[in-house]
Every structure is written in structure tokens, then in C-alpha cells.
Amino acid sequence: MNKIYFIGINGIGMSGLAKIMKLKGYDVCGADLSRNYVTEELESLGVKVFGEHNAENILGADLIVASSAIKQDNPEIIRAKDLGIKIIKRGELLALLMNKEKGIAVAGTHGKTTTSSMLGSLLLDIDPTIVVGGILPEIGSNARCGKTEIFIAEADESDNSFLHLTPEISIITNIEADHLENHGSLENIKKSFKQFMDQTKREILVCDDCLETLELIKGRKNIKTYSIKKNDSDIIATDIKIINSKTVFTVIIDGEKFGEFELSIPGNHNIQNALPVIYLAKKYGIDKKRIAEKLLSFKGAKRRYDILHSDKIRIIDDYAHHPTEIKATIQGAKTIEKNKTIAIFQPHRYSRVNFLLNDFKGSFEGVDEVILMPVYSAGEKNEFGVTLEKLKEKIGHKHCRIIEKNEDIEKIVTGEKESATFLFMGAGNISNLAHTIADNIGRTGNEII
């Protein structure tokens, strides 16, 4: 096998693997209908990226890697089948790479990108391979090819592709109902996580604050639990406080105080994300002082409380789209944002809004105003009768309105007379709008102040 063709190559998960395979010496190319911030990096490495899906593109390919978003009527898929070229999913390629190494897989409904990125950052000194679902500022990319056997990756449960993995160590941040269009029920999701845990070879780090994980860890001997709420977990955070917009906490591991640490990224959920990272960094021999330095300097992965502009007006770009993620982001924001806070939310997928509609009740509590934008469909048809009016009613915020045009959003932000923070939230293309507005008013960088 020499030439690998990626269908949907600009996806955050696909592009990372394309980069790894290119750095390993393979001839890599692919196609995607849209360009984004990873396209230029791939092209700088010599990867040919086609701007359209064409049957002729795949000629000469030995292997096809297809994004889970690609339909079977894609012309490249059809031609590959006609030619008998092997087609695999992204998750299968990740497994082919990771399962030969000492893999550390980070799974969970929420928090896996931040946790895997934080872990990658803290273990950079031991030269791991990293494949995560966001841009890690320390490496300026979503992937790096290391020289050791350590392989850190984000494990995707959305389509059960994480079940191809057999990691040495796994982290499970939480389990919750999501991607029900694929799983059907929370019970099915839990069955998948149970299988993932069964496939972990050595040690499983599980957040003890999530009720859905409790029944899955009963009777297992290779479990380490972590918590910010319980005193009997293996790894706990205590004495949590906010000092000068930094989150300060003490970590206790196996009953013994390990040290005090600070985070620049806000929110209790990020303390939870940090606990298994601190434990593994210690396990891999990273000095405690170095752990503290790296944690404090960690600013999060791209689109995870990404501060695009910080002046009288602050513009934050955040990936939160599930009600639980929205609540966590707002909780974190309120620990450091002292001015009026306005959430600008782009719902993601009609199916997700439909399945989680009731969960949106109260999810924006804590902000001064909510602005709803049209649903980012991700190619779905609205077969569920989803409307923004229904979502607005379910959210139940007394200051919630619907704004459909990007230019009207920009007028609201630039016309704000008071000091205010605008939280742009969603998994779709709302990030582009946040960046455009930040650029137009004078972008100052990603610092947290």
C-alpha cells in the first residue's frame, strides 16, 4: 500500500490522520467540498486536496479512507467499489495506527478534545504521537508524529468507531445521551462504552462525578476514578477557588496530596478534564513543577473557550452545542466574565435538536441574553419539524430572541455600548462569523485577561 485517498479530508479527524500518514511516508491526497484552516497545512506538506468529489480523483489509490459523513452515492465511493479498492472508515485507520503502539484513548460524550489536547500538551516532553479533534496551540495542529510508542488519540463514540480501538489506557470523561440518530438510546451508548472499557488492556480512568459511569465500573479491577465532588475517589480535586481569573485547586492521588495547580481555562468541567491528565503525567515521569507550568500555560484547543477579541467587547468562540456543554461553558464563563454576557447560539443538526429538545430547558441560565441563529443542518433534512420558535420556548430564557442574518449579529456586537462578552456557541460554521466580527473590530489574540 502506497497511495491513500481521503474522502472528506478537511474534517478535523480526517485531516489529522492524513497528516500522520503523509509524515510516515505515504502518498496522500483527498477531496473536500470546503476549505478550512487545516487545508493549507496539508497542502504545505505536499498533500493534494481536490475541491470537489470526482470519480477520476481516486485513480491509482491503494486505499480509500472515508469520513462517516460521506454518503454511499458519493462518486468517489462508487468508483472505488467498481475498481475493488478497499474502503475503510477514519476510525479503522486510527485503530490500525494506535493498536500497534502504547495507546492512550480519550472517550466521552463531552470534554474529550480538551482532555486529549491537555494530555498531549503535558506529555510533549516524551515525544508522543497525537491525533485530536481540535487545533492544539502548542503544536499548531491537530496531529503530530512522535518518535516514541506513546500514542494519544481522541476516541469517537458518535458512530461507534472507538470500538475499533484496543488502547493500553483509556479515559472516560462522561456518558450521556447524544448522537441518538446513530445509537437510538442511552442504553445502547452505555453498551458501547462497556465494550470499549472491555477492550482497554491496562488501566481505565473514569470520572466518578458522572452517574452513568457508575454501573459500568462495578467489579472492574483496572479502574482509577477521579472527581471534584467525592472524597473517596482515587484522584480528587479539593480547595477549589478562583484567584485573579485563574482556577486554583489541590490534587490528591491515592489519599496523598500531590500538589496545587492552576488553570487558565475556566469551569469545573476543566478541573475534571485536568485530573486524569495530571495523574498520567505523573505516571509517565513528568516533574510536578513542569506539570504545573504546562497546565497554567494551556489555553485550550481551538474553539474551546477561544478568546478572539478582548477589550471592552470580548468575543469568545466555543464548540458547545449539547445542552450539558452549554451549561458547563456558561458556568465557566461566569467565573471570569464580570460584564454583561450574551450567548449567540447556532443549533447543530435537526436530529440533535429534536432528540435533546427537552434538555435545552434552563441550559442558558446565567447569561443576560440568548440569541438563536438558524440550525446548522450538516446536510440533514428537517424531517422532525424543528423550529427555532420551539427551541426558544423550550430554552425558557426571558431575554431570548431569534436573529437569522449574520450582518444583523455583527450590528448587535459592534453596536454594543456597554462592556460585554459575546459567547458564540455551536459546532457548525458560527465560528466563521465569530472570527469575521473579531477581525473587523480589531483582533487582539487568544490571551485570557
Return the active site residues.
112-113, 154
Distance CA 28, CA 227 (A): 42
Buried/exposed code over 261-292 (b: 16+ C-beta within 10 A; e: otherwise) = bebbbbbbbbbbbbbbbbbbbbeeebeeeebe
Q: Which cell is 156 given? A: 469517537
DSSP string, 270-326: HHHHHHHHHHHHHHTT--HHHHHHHHHH---STTSSEEEEESSEEEEEE---SHHHH
112 annotated among ligand-binding-site residues: yes
CB 234 within 8 A of CB 276: no
71 annotated among ligand-binding-site residues: no
Which of 56, 2, 42 minimizes the C-alpha distance to 24? 2
Buried/exposed code over 178-195 (b: 16+ C-beta within 10 A; e: otherwise) = bbbeebeeeeebbebbee
114 annotated among ligand-binding-site residues: yes
Distance CA 17, CA 345 (A): 30
- The CB-side HSE value for 288 (13 A sphere, CA atoms) comes to 9
For cell 477514519, the residue is: 90
Q: Which helix (H) or strand (E) holds 423?
A: strand 420-425
Which of 224, 321, 330 minimizes the C-alpha distance to 276? 224
The neighbour count for residue 14, using CB atoms within 10 Å, is: 26
CB 130 within 8 A of CB 7: no
Q: Which cell is 428 given? A: 457548525
SS3 134: strand
113 annotated among ligand-binding-site residues: yes
110 annotated among ligand-binding-site residues: yes
Enumerate the known binding-site residues: 108-114
Enumerate the known binding-site residues for ATP: 108-114
